[in-house]
Structures are given as C-alpha cells and as structure tokens.
Amino acid sequence: MAGPFTRADFEKLVPADKKLRPEWLKSLTERGQAAVYRGSELEKIGMPIGGICAGQIYLGGDGKLWHWDIFNRRIATGAEHYAKPLRPSSPLDQGFALRIKSGNKVQERPLDRAHWRDVSFRGECPIGVVEYRDADSPVSVRLEAFSPFVPLDTEASSLPATIMQFTVTNHSRGVVEAELAGWLENAVCLYSAQLRDGLRRNRVVRRAGALILECRAEEAPAGEPSQRPDILFEDFEHETYGDWAVTGVAFGSGPVEMAKIPSYQGDVGGKGRRVVNTHASAPANTVEARDAAIGTLTSPPFVIERNYITFLIGGGAHKDTTCMNLLVEERVVRTATGENDNHMKPMSWDVRRWAGKPARLQIVENESGGWGNIGVDNIVFSDRPGMPLGPLAQQEDFGSMVLALLEARPRDHGAAALMGEAKRSSKTSTRPFDQELVGLLTRKFKLAPGAVTQATFVLAWHMPNLHLSRLPPGRFYARRFDSAHAVAAYVARNVARLTSQTRLWHDTWYDSTLPYWFLDRTFLNTSILATSTCHRFGNGRFYAWEGVGCCEGTCGHVWQYAHAVARLFPELERQTREKVDLGLALQPDGAIHFRGEFNDIPAIDAQAGTILRALREHQMSADDAFLRRTWPRIKKAMDWLIAKGGNGDGLIEGNQHNTLDTDWFGPVAWLSGLYLAALRAAEAMALEMGDTAYAEKCRSIFQAGQKNFVNQLYADGYFRNRPDPQHLDAINSGSGCEIDQVFGQSWAFQVGLPRVLPQEQTVSALKSLWRYNFTPDVGPYREAYKAGRWYAMPGEAGLLMCTFPRSDWDYAQAKGKGPEWAAGYFNECMNGFEYQVAGHMIWEGLVTEGLALARAVHDRYHASRRNPWNEVECGDHYARSMASYGVFLAACGFSYHGPRKHIGFAPRLTPQNFKAPFTAAEGWGSFSQKLQGGSFEAEIYLAWGKLRLRTITLVLLESAPASSVRVRLNTRVVKASHEISGNQLRIILLSETKIAAGQTLQIRVA
C-alpha cells in the first residue's frame, strides 16, 4: 500500500519544526476580537438553538431556522458531514419579514441573506446574534436568538422553545412605519401526513400577555365502514415485471426469488416466493457495486377504488432516492422508504382523497451510495389499512407547535391561515393534511428618526411521543407541559427571568481575559446537549448517542472524555453514574457494560473512566450523599479492574476492549495509565468514606504500578505498549506514539488527584506527541497512510491519533489482522482526543502547544470550511468533543470539591491579570486575580446561586509577597489562616462561609 518509511520519510510526513507563523502563535493568547461571520461564511452555519434534550433546531447564518429535528424521527448521521458539511434545508415554511414604509416607498424584506446586503452572524453559546443592514433600508434589524440556558438549573434550560428577540432601529432622518411578521407552517404530523388523512388546525389566541398562534392536528372524520373485498394489485410472483415499466439496471430482469437473495440480507420478510429486491437483482457482485446500480419501476395506470394502498417496503431510508411513490395526475402525493433495514415492513397509505382518480405507483432506486437499494412486495388495495395505523395521537410526530408574540400590544395581529378560503383575519383555520397551513403574527410600529423598538417571538414545540428501541418512552419536557401552548405561556410568564439569567451566564462566560476564540471553542460544544445526540425520556432518564443517532447507550468510553455536562448540569451525570453505569449496566462481578442495556462487554477505559467520573460527580455535589449511595458499587467496579490487572503489578495484560473498538493485548500505556488513575480516585473516595483498608489496597497497587509503568513502558521519550506476543494478530499501537498514552494523568488533573504519572516522563511524552503527531498539514501523512475517515482534510492541521516514529513497529504491525476500519483510526485526527491532550499540555505548563492543538480544531471548524457548531466524529455533534470544556478548566487550573467546600485556581494564561467563569455545586460566577503594585488580589464573585467555602488554594506569582493574607466578604472581614508551600497558597476560612449571589469574596495578599 505504502512505505516502508524511513526516519527521513517520517520527517516529511510530520515535520519536527512546525513552522507556525508568529502572528498565528500570537493570536493563541491574545484576547482578540469576537469572530463575526459574513457573506459565504454564513452558508453552513447551524447553531443548535433549542433547549437541552428537547430536539434539534439550527439557527442559520442568516437567522433562518433549519434542520427542524423535533419530530422524534431517528436521524442517524455518520462521519460524512466533516468532508461534506450539511447545507441548510427545512421541511417546513417558517420565517420573519419586515415591511417598511418610509415616505411613499414600501419595501418588503424577509429576514434572510437574499433580502439584505449585509448580514452578519455572531454565535456566543447559548446566544446567536444576526444583524441585517442594507444601504437601501432606513432601518436595521438585530436578532438575538436563544433557548433559556442557566447552568445548574436543568429545568430552566430544558424548554422545547426558542426565543427570538428582534430590535429594529431607524437610521434615517424620517419617520418609518413598519410591520414585522413571523409565520409558521403547521408541520405537526410532518411524516404521518404522508401516510394517512387527517386535519391540521390553527388558532390564534391571547394568553399570558402573548399573542399565540397554535398549530395542532387531529384525526380525519371517520368514513363509512366498507365491506368491499381487497384487490391484489401486485404480488411480484412472476419471472418478469410484466406490465411494469423498467428503467436502469438495478431492478434486473424481474422479481427475485427470496431463496436466491444474498444471505447477509437476512429474512427480507416477503410474501410468496418472489419480491422486488434491487440489492439482489442488481447485476453486480460486491455490495458497493450493487449499491451503485440505479433504476425505476413504474406500474401500469390504475384507478383508486379502495381507501388504502397497502404494501411491504424495506431497504434504504433515502427520501426521494430509495422510495415508492404514488403518482396522481403526475404529482407525487404519497411516498415511503425503507428504514435502512432489508426486512420489509408493512406500510399503508390513506388514499380516500383520490378515490376514482387514475394513478400509478413508481418504485425509485436512484441512490448509488450506502443503502442504495429497495425492497417491495405484496401491493394490495384495501378498505382497511394493512397495518394498524394506530391513533393519530400516538404517532411520533404528533403534538403541537406554537409561534407567540410576547408582551402583545392591542394592535398586534394574528391570522390562523395566510392563504385560501380563510381570510387573513381569521382566528381559526383547518386544512386536510395534504394542504399547507401557514399562520402569521404581525406587529406594526412607527419609528421616529433614531428610535428603536423590540419584538420578542417564541417558537415552542411539544412532540411527546419519542420512542427509541428498548428505551423508556416519551420526552421529559412532556412531564411539565401538556402542549406547545403551555410551553409558550410558561415562557411568556417567565421571559424576564429566563432571559436575564441566560444573559447573566453568557456575560459571565465572556467577561474574561481568555481569548475570544478559546472561550468560543471550549464552550460551544456544550450545545451538543441541544441536539439529538442527547435525550431525556419521560421517566427523567438522561440518554445519549455518541453522535446524532449513531452508536447507542451513552457510551462509557466516549463520554468519559466529555467534561462539560458534569460541570454545568451535574445532576445529569450523577444520574447516569448512579442509574446506568453503576446501575443497570453493573454486573455481579463488577464489570460495567459500557453501552448500558445495549451491549454485554466491559471496556477498560470506560470502566476506569466511570470510577474517575464518580469522583468528579461527588466533587460537583453539595454533600456526600451521592458518594455514600454509590460507594459500594464503585468499589465493586474497581475490584473488577484490579482483578483484570491480575498480579498486583498495576498493569493490565489480558484482553482490553477500548474506545478504538477492538481488544488489545499486553500492557497498554493508555489503558494501564487510566487504571492507575482509577486506583488513585478509588483511594481518595475510600479515604472519604472512612474505608482505610480499601484505600491502602488501592494505594499499594498504584505504587507498584507507577514504578512498573515507567520501567516497562517508557522509552525514547514517550510511553509505548508491550503487545502480547501471543496476540500479534490483534490491533495494537505497540511502540507507536499514541495520543492517549498519558490520559490517566490528564484525568488526575481534572479531579485534583495527586500525580498518577511522574512529571518528567509525562511532559516528555506530551512533547513527543507534539513532535511526532502534530502536523500543520495532515495531507502528506494521509497520502502515505490512507486508511481512516476524514476529520482533518489535506491542508488542515491536527494531532494524529498514532504515528510510528520508531523503526521497530509500523502501521502494518499495529493493524495486525484487525479490520481496516479500526486500524484506520490511527491515521485520523479526532477532536475529543485532541482536546484531551490539549488540556493536559496546558495543565503541565506546555501552554503554547496545548493552545495550538485546540486552535487547530477551531480553525478546522471555521465557518468558511464547515459548521462551527457541529464537531463531527462518527456522527454529528459528537459527544467526545465536550472534552473541550476540560481545556477551559486546564486554563483556569480549576479545582473544586463541593462536599469539602474547597475551590482553587491556578491560571495558566496571564496569571498577573486573569478573569474567568467557574461553576460549582450550587452556584456559579467569576474568578479574577491581579498582581498590582505590592499586592496580589483575588476575587470570587458569585453571579448565581450560592457557594459554600472552607478552603481556597491559589498560586502565588513569583514576585508577589505573602506576609499577610486578608479575606473579606463584601465589606465584612472573614477570619482565615493560611499556609504556603512552594508557590501554593492555601487559605483556611475559620468557619464555613456562604457567598450569596451578588457577593464577592476578596483575598488580598500583601
């Protein structure tokens, strides 16, 4: 394939001298400017803008909402959206427009790119800001869009709603009369409406001071019961397609015998002997070539003379390209696809509306990529649906939607329907499912020169029928609200509080000395919570994919990298530890099935990570109740790992499943290092629980392990593995330079543990990663090592997962006889891992290198390249990327222990003048420190909630004196003592001190 490469070749693939431009290096630490996107940069922007675990709606670069994944349809994404970013598309009609009258000139300007010359976008999670300007418009418009987001307040942050605040400013010298309109298509039953009849109903009402456009759906009136016999239209039991017209090659010469279908397709579930199955009929031998074939199959005309068309359908889930359509008057009136499953399922179309009309069926197979095939059988016209359609109210996309105009004025106007027989003033309107029903709300205003006005719209949705296979049904938000109307009314009543607290968090986050790019990148992945990666079911359980719709079970080995949720909404992580990892997934022997109920094996990294996360979850609690409840189970999980280590040497030798999806054998630096970190965490928790014998057990294995780890695995400046000679067929990075080799120490920093790995060798390992794995252009490396997916394109920088700088091990050996898809991981750049290393480098003082790694990811996700808000791994909005929050914590040198009432900061950037936000168990705020004149001053300002403290640690700067330490809470002196060890200052408050919101604890060291 490529190689073998010599040392000199390696230099060409990953240069030792990165030749980073001085201005780029300078920009890593400069506060800089907020990034504002314009022009073509707006095209791919999709900022998640709904509540957490409430579906997924994007705010586009020009302020239009798109994607609209709120209808409980499982959307499964893959890795492809890195190389081919999604473009805005919307299944429904919604938007805002301004009608402007100045003098005798009237302009109509929808709020989008097409109608304003200058549109700009600034996304500061959780708030997106879009500004519209045009030299020909007397007014400008500023849109601020967000869903309420208040750390620690899960309830306030989980609303299925988006607030859109418009500010209109008159820049002209004359009076302007204007009307701002918002419209919403009733898209309730978006998918069901393609299969059955029903009615959509809109109404406009005033409630809670708001003008509310409510969109609902209901069953169609029942027809006359009928006794007409079924008509078998087509059973595909012949050798040819008969009267059906064939194009292309995918359909072959006729229906295929089920007995001759490739066995890997499984039971396709057909009726009789033959079926339509393009995967089997395509004239090709490989799966790819079969997928590549395309064609159509069109029935002879028939007259619709029964209420339903029933059939079996399977194959690809591609709308429009692997589908069967019903054509009436040459228009597609019904369409259906498979569900990426070869087993065909019964489907019914309600066709009463077209009774007596001529029609045709068309089976389309126009997809040449994965799942480019379709199966169809047994087409029957019947007066009964072929499968029970079930009550409309139980369909996944049933529910309600609302557009509301808050603080409504008497002249604000609402119309239930825009067009058709209902007049624009009508307050109610109904339409059958196949007709569009769009409602409208408007506000008229008059603006004097220079005057400003505001209008706040709320979009709310309520689709309670989420149902993921094997998981509890329903949506958590439906426990609090019975309709979108109730959601909108709640927002209307609480908009002042929800808005001010969201802004308070936003302002607290950005009121920092840290660079803008750094604040943007480390926080924006938190928006993954507001995507379909994350769900909360009717019973309150938090659940997540790895990325949208891909890889189930809140995967322990992926989620252990993600630090954001634990620090912002710790109750969700505590619940997942307690109910899932240490609950339903915990086996009698202590093994944790890392996908909850979805798999039956443990993984070494997930197991160690769960123990480390349990410590973190304890530290983010107000008291020790969580640890008391879970400690016996944590111990059990630890004992499983200890047993896996076998001989007490602190290294694990046997089969080790892990996040790279295969089993590795022999001591692996990355996995044994995590084991050592877990031992340290268990020891710390044991001591807190008064379990000194267990603490001693963990400590002694740890101590042996740390020595063995260095002695056996450290060579040539980094840590390698010692692959088991009995298992050379297995994938193993061997003596390659592997990205996670010192992950255990990285974790230790995140939870304030004493060192797990010695500093000297650890720093050297990180420098080796920089030297051997960080490349300013992945192109040459990927040209030589082709396997793997694309998360950094040629010309883009990144930290490679594993390189092979030594001559005793190469990709070919690392691959063993493992599958190419898994070995290919070594050649990729995966954001979550890169953040793990970036944070670790910053903790260890390699600040420039750490920032450069994080910035490389940031640059890859610049809006000119792809959607900045969608970090992709094997799925959109990939959870591991929430590791970026750990990079932020590293920059602050943050440590916190809620039950012990301890907080600490050790800023790595500009410590002489530093300010950054923090979150604790019961409150959040801002930490700042400054060296000025002869004194060092630090402040802990609490913006929200409360913070109870006993001890505080700070790092003294070199030139700072420390003969006296004074602590004040606002103006009151707080009695305290202090200890200094090295440059560490530890302040012990004489008694527990509570800082309330709005108060500042001031520390003056002189």
Part of the chain binding Ca ion (CB under 5 A), chosen from 266-274, 588-596, 688-696, 874-882: 266-274
For residues 675 and 749, which CB has a smaller minimum distance to Ca ion in the complex?
675
Long-range contact list for 623-627, CB < 8 A, 24+ apart? 623/898, 623/899, 624/688, 624/899, 626/574, 626/577, 626/578, 627/685, 627/688, 627/689, 627/899
For residues 450 and 648, which CB has a smaller minimum distance to Ca ion in the complex?
648
Strand partners, 365: 295, 322
For residues 704 and 728, which CB has a smaller minimum distance to Ca ion in the complex?
704
Positions 924 through 953 that interact with Ca ion (CB under 5 A): none
Part of the chain binding Ca ion (CB under 5 A), chosen from 52-60, 122-130, 371-379, 515-523: 371-379
Question: CB 339 → Ca ion: shortest distance, Å?
Answer: 16
Interface with Ca ion (CB under 5 A), residue from 215, 404, 651, 737: 651
The answer to the question of residue 372 lying near Ca ion (CB under 5 A) is: yes
Interface with Ca ion (CB under 5 A), residue from 63, 123, 645, 744: 645
Angle between helix axes 884-892 and 831-843 (nearest 10 degrees) is 10
**Concatenated DSSP letters of 894-923:** -EEETTTTEEE---SS-TTEEEEEEE-SSE
Question: CB 824 → Ca ion: shortest distance, Å?
Answer: 25
The answer to the question of residue 507 lying near Ca ion (CB under 5 A) is: no
For residues 485 and 644, which CB has a smaller minimum distance to Ca ion in the complex?
644
Part of the chain binding Ca ion (CB under 5 A), chosen from 115-123, 142-150, 165-173, 641-649: 641-649
The answer to the question of residue 436 lying near Ca ion (CB under 5 A) is: no
Q: How many CB atoms lie within 10 A of CB 457?
A: 25
Part of the chain binding Ca ion (CB under 5 A), chosen from 454-462, 522-530, 554-562, 642-650: 642-650
List of residues 6+ apart from 981 with CB closer than 8 A: none
The answer to the question of residue 515 lying near Ca ion (CB under 5 A) is: no
Tokens of 387: 């499968």
For residues 29 and 712, which CB has a smaller minimum distance to Ca ion in the complex?
712
Question: Whole-angstrom Cα distance, residue 279 to residue 252?
Answer: 10
Site string for Ca ion, 270-289 (x = CB under 5 A): -xx-----------------
Question: Whole-angstrom Cα distance, residue 883 to residue 729?
Answer: 32
Question: CB 94 → Ca ion: shortest distance, Å?
Answer: 34
How many residues interact with Ca ion (rule CB under 5 A)? 14
Part of the chain binding Ca ion (CB under 5 A), chosen from 111-119, 303-311, 365-373, 462-470: 365-373
Question: CB 366 → Ca ion: shortest distance, Å?
Answer: 7
Question: CB 652 → Ca ion: shortest distance, Å?
Answer: 6
Within 278-367, residue ranges assigned H as helices are 278-281, 287-292
For residues 294 and 882, which CB has a smaller minimum distance to Ca ion in the complex?
294
Work out whether strand 935-955 and strand 902-904 pair parallel, antiparallel, or are unpaired. parallel
For residues 342 and 836, which CB has a smaller minimum distance to Ca ion in the complex?
342
CB of 891 closer than 8 Å to CB of 876: no
The answer to the question of residue 647 lying near Ca ion (CB under 5 A) is: yes
Interface with Ca ion (CB under 5 A), residue from 236, 626, 896, 918: 236
Question: CB 270 → Ca ion: shortest distance, Å?
Answer: 5
For residues 60 and 645, which CB has a smaller minimum distance to Ca ion in the complex?
645
For residues 381 and 918, which CB has a smaller minimum distance to Ca ion in the complex?
381
Q: With residue 703 as reference, give the H or E element that holds it.
A: helix 692-713
For residues 583 and 654, which CB has a smaller minimum distance to Ca ion in the complex?
654
For residues 269 and 645, which CB has a smaller minimum distance to Ca ion in the complex?
645
For residue 823, report the phi and psi dihedrals to the nearest 5 degrees.
-65, -30
Q: How many CB atoms lie within 10 A of CB 647?
A: 9
Part of the chain binding Ca ion (CB under 5 A), chosen from 153-161, 306-314, 363-371, 389-397: 363-371
Question: CB 932 → Ca ion: shortest distance, Å?
Answer: 53
For residue 126, report the phi and psi dihedrals to the nearest 5 degrees.
-95, 15
Part of the chain binding Ca ion (CB under 5 A), chosen from 229-237, 523-531, 535-543, 789-797: 229-237
634, 637, 641, 642: CA torsion to nearest 10: 60
Part of the chain binding Ca ion (CB under 5 A), chosen from 24-32, 551-559, 644-652, 785-793: 644-652
**Exposure on the CB side of residue 11, measured as CA atoms within 13 A:** 4
The answer to the question of residue 235 lying near Ca ion (CB under 5 A) is: yes
Per-residue CA distances from 458 to 96, 150, 159, 211 (Å):
12, 18, 11, 10
Interface with Ca ion (CB under 5 A), residue from 118, 153, 507, 649: 649
Provide the 3-class DSSP secondary structure of residue 216: strand
For residues 56 and 732, which CB has a smaller minimum distance to Ca ion in the complex?
732
Question: CB 290 → Ca ion: shortest distance, Å?
Answer: 7
Question: CB 748 → Ca ion: shortest distance, Å?
Answer: 20
The DSSP output letter for 465 is -
For residues 367 and 396, which CB has a smaller minimum distance to Ca ion in the complex?
367
Question: CB 233 → Ca ion: shortest distance, Å?
Answer: 12
Q: Beta strands of 790-934 (E only): which ranges?
A: 798-799, 802-803, 895-897, 902-904, 913-919, 923-932
Long-range contact list for 975-978, CB < 8 A, 24+ apart? none
For residues 646 and 795, which CB has a smaller minimum distance to Ca ion in the complex?
646
Positions 376 through 435 that interact with Ca ion (CB under 5 A): 377
Question: CB 653 → Ca ion: shortest distance, Å?
Answer: 5
Question: CB 167 → Ca ion: shortest distance, Å?
Answer: 50
Question: CB 672 → Ca ion: shortest distance, Å?
Answer: 8
For residues 152 and 364, which CB has a smaller minimum distance to Ca ion in the complex?
364
Within 511-569, residue ranges assigned H as helices are 516-524, 556-559, 564-568
Question: CB 441 → Ca ion: shortest distance, Å?
Answer: 45
For residues 649 and 922, which CB has a smaller minimum distance to Ca ion in the complex?
649
Question: Cis peptide leading into 4, omega within 30 of 0?
Answer: yes
Q: Beta strands of 23-175 (E only): which ranges?
A: 37-38, 46-48, 56-60, 65-69, 94-102, 105-110, 118-124, 127-133, 139-146, 161-170
Q: What's at 806, amino acid-wise?
A: R
The answer to the question of residue 795 lying near Ca ion (CB under 5 A) is: no
Q: Is the dihedral of CA 468, 472, 474, 480 positive or negative?
A: negative
Question: CB 365 → Ca ion: shortest distance, Å?
Answer: 5
3-state helix, strand, coil in the chain (%, to 5): 30, 30, 40
**Exposure on the CB side of residue 739, measured as CA atoms within 13 A:** 25
Question: CB 790 → Ca ion: shortest distance, Å?
Answer: 23
List of residues 6+ apart from 438 with CB closer than 8 A: 93, 183, 184, 185, 186, 417, 418, 419
For residues 43 and 235, which CB has a smaller minimum distance to Ca ion in the complex?
235
Part of the chain binding Ca ion (CB under 5 A), chosen from 31-39, 643-651, 657-665, 905-913: 643-651
Q: What's at 696, amino acid-wise?
A: E
CB-closest chain residue to Ca ion: 372
Site string for Ca ion, 292-311 (x = CB under 5 A): --x-----------------
CB of 853 closer than 8 Å to CB of 774: yes
Tokens of 361: 């069926």
Interface with Ca ion (CB under 5 A), residue from 266, 390, 646, 961: 646
For residues 373 and 836, which CB has a smaller minimum distance to Ca ion in the complex?
373
Q: Which residues bind Ca ion (CB under 5 A)?
A: 235-236, 271-272, 291, 294, 367, 372, 377, 645-647, 649, 651
